[in-house]
A and B are shown apart, each in its own frame.
Chain A
Amino acid sequence: GAVVSQHPSWVICKSGTSVKIECRSLDFQATTMFWYRQFPKQSLMLMATSNEGSKATYEQGVEKDKFLINHASLTLSTLTVTSAHPEDSSFYICSARDLETEAFFGQGTRLTVV
């Protein structure tokens, strides 16, 4: 299957700082990318959907000013957690889809805010 690379795999940051997570599709062009958040032992909750060159569509309850998503090219989407707080600590996973119906997932990023 296609490869989606997510970076970094884990990050620790201080409260009040911002953290950027990258999601790259390595061998295909991703027209759509999705960002999920997963709390320990829970399911994946969709945060937002982004299409290349347009604004992301956020799910209800997700703060768009806190979780900035940029999908500037067909192979790269970034999620920036702004002014991070301990409650933002979580596992963030991206997925990327081309024109077909299958989405491929990155390996996830463990964010810890201290």
Chain B
Amino acid sequence: AQSVTQPDIHITVSEGASLELRCNYSYGATPYLFWYVQSPGQGLQLLLKYFSGDTLVQGIKGFEAEFKRSQSSFNLRKPSVHWSDAAEYFCAVVPFSGGYNKLIFGAGTRLAVHP
């Protein structure tokens, strides 16, 4: 079945440590790929997106993500986490099924940051 998987429901890191959030998708063709961040009780903010081209994508707030076609993955990374990065992170895809239609979200990964 077509899906977006975020294997880690909850991750805790220390401030200043590196971070990697995993995302895998299962669609026949490479979809458009996105990472969003959501603070409690808020809407979603786009961190970065991948459509085509360079597989390493730079986003806002020091985040980057790498698209790996062979692994059907689009993992989010940050070299040094700040306390303000604590939030919920969602990987999302726009699958190719007759043109752009809808954004499908993964289950999300809740990030906690220890001082």
Q: Could you tell me if A44 and B90 are in contact, using CB atoms closer than 8 angstroms?
A: yes
Contact for B94 among A101, A104, A105, A110, CB less than 8 A: A101
Chain A interface residue number, banded: 20 to 34
Cβ–Cβ < 8 Å partners of A95 in chain B: 44, 103
The size of the chain B interface, using a CB distance under 8 A, is: 22
Cβ–Cβ < 8 Å partners of A93 in chain B: 43-44
In the complex, number of A-B residue pairs with CB atoms less than 8 Å apart: 47
Tell me if B105 is interfacial: C-beta within 8 Å of chain A.
yes
- A102 in contact with B105 given A43-B90, A44-B90 (CB within 8 Å): no
Q: How far is B32's CA from A101's CA once the two chains are assembled, in angstroms?
A: 9
Q: How far is B108's CA from A86's CA once the two chains are assembled, in angstroms?
A: 25
How many Å from the CB of A97 to the closest CB on chain B?
8
CB nearest neighbor in B for A107: B43
Q: Could you tell me if B43 and A108 are in contact, using CB atoms closer than 8 angstroms?
A: yes
Tell me if A67 is interfacial: C-beta within 8 Å of chain B.
no
Q: List 8 A-B contacts (CB under 8 A).
A: A1-B46, A6-B43, A42-B107, A43-B90, A43-B105, A46-B102, A95-B44, A105-B45
